[in-house]
Structure 1
Amino acid sequence: MTEITTLLRAAGSGDPRAAEQVVEMLYADLQRLARSRLRRSGELTLLDTTSLVHESYLRMHHGGDLDFADRKHFLAYAARVMHTVVIDLVRARQADRRGGEAMHVTLNTAVADTTPQSDDELLRVHEALQELATVDARLAQVVEMRYFGGLSEAEIADCLGVTERTVQRDWQKARLFLAAALK
């Protein structure tokens, strides 16, 4: 058992110092996830990498349930929290302006490989992802880990307990579903 796994288990048992140590040890990985997430959202957020990492940490810390099996599960959860932070920020901005000068852009079938260009588009992708989760939760997890978390197929396969080929097939299915949902 690695030191991080031991600390994650201690954090899951309620040790606040262990949770802080995990974040300190994985800070570079969290920065990488945040950089990947912000690069995908372009100029849609006012957050920088550090702000996104810190806001995500606060949400994870206040969420309470920090019981993770290992480093990869923690990073997958962190990617999901970062996604939520960005979506919440976009929704707050949308609530302020209610669509005023928002540009409407239609996505093509390469939805998973492109960057959403507007708040509306980012929200449409999020809603399509939620719809996908109701149809097949694993497909939604693959999208979140790959697209929002920047994890490799091997890391996703290890985290979900499936083969890399299964992750590849799930990625293809998810892309097709999202493309159809966003038309």
Structure 2
Amino acid sequence: MKPDEVTRLLHAWRGGDVAARDALAPLVYRELQRLAHSAMRGERAGHTLQTTALVHEAFLKLADAGVDWVDRAHFFGIAARQMRQVLVNHAEAHRAAKRGGGAPHAPLDEALDVVGTPSAEISELDDVLRRLAAFDARKAQILELHYFGGLTYDEMAAVMQLSAATVDTELRFAKAWLRQQLGTAR
């Protein structure tokens, strides 16, 4: 995938060119699949939402978002947020359907690749991210881009308009905070 071509198509799509959106879809599909696979890593066995469905739902939300696309990294940052929201909605619907039934929780094996972090439901992770965003929105967004978006440090830096070194520092702090929150939430 050529980043410049993706950015050019995003700008054309922003200008109302539906053909550009249609040309963009196959270019970003594989990367969206990778993001979806990463976002679903650790979900419970038998999860009813498959990666392909997650990609399609997220892309439909992206198509209707009316976002003023800046570039490829911005697109995938927003895609990560959309996937997170789809997973949260799905988890909440699943929990509501099973409420009171003693159904098993939907664990995430490693929240944010933090070794030793206790498993957490996607909705619990969402709650923790919301708490973090309440006092430090930038760290919460970096966590979201890292975990749900699977973006590289350079891509996160571009989306956040920060240096990669700052992203690294913020991410290390956010992971430690997350580890502490998930450990005390039990």
The verdict on a shared fold, with TM-score over 0.5 as the criterion, is yes
Report if the CA contact (8 A) 2:42-2:107 is conserved. no
Asked if 1:86 corresponds to 2:87, the answer is yes
Q: In structure 2, how many angstroms separate the alpha carbons of the residues matched to 1:74 and 1:93?
A: 28
- TM-score, normalisation: structure 1: 0.84
- The structural deviation recorded for 1:149 is 1.2
Report if the CA contact (8 A) 2:142-2:170 is conserved. yes
Alignment counterpart, residue 7 of structure 1, candidates 5, 9, 24? 9
Distance change in 2, residues 1:122/1:2 (3 Å)? closer
- RMSD value over aligned CA atoms? 2.6
Shifted more, 38-47 versus 25-34: the winner is 38-47
Asked if 1:140 corresponds to 2:140, the answer is yes
Alignment counterpart, residue 56 of structure 1, candidates 43, 55, 58? 58
Letter in 2 for 1:172: R
Structure 1: gaps of 5 or more residues: none
Report if the CA contact (8 A) 2:62-2:82 is conserved. yes
Report if the CA contact (8 A) 2:43-2:106 is conserved. no
Distance change in 2, residues 1:172/1:69 (3 Å)? same
Question: Superposed, which structure 2 residues align to 1:1-183 within 5 Å?
Answer: 2-43=4-45, 45-63=47-65, 65-103=66-104, 111-113=111-113, 117=119, 121-182=121-182, 183=184
Structure 2: gaps of 5 or more residues: none
- The structural deviation recorded for 1:104 is 6.5
Q: In structure 2, how many angstroms separate the alpha carbons of the residues matched to 1:168 and 1:42?
A: 30
Distance change in 2, residues 1:157/1:40 (3 Å)? farther
Distance change in 2, residues 1:51/1:97 (3 Å)? same
* Helix, strand or coil at the partner of 2:53: helix
Report if the CA contact (8 A) 2:43-2:107 is conserved. no
Letter in 2 for 1:134: A
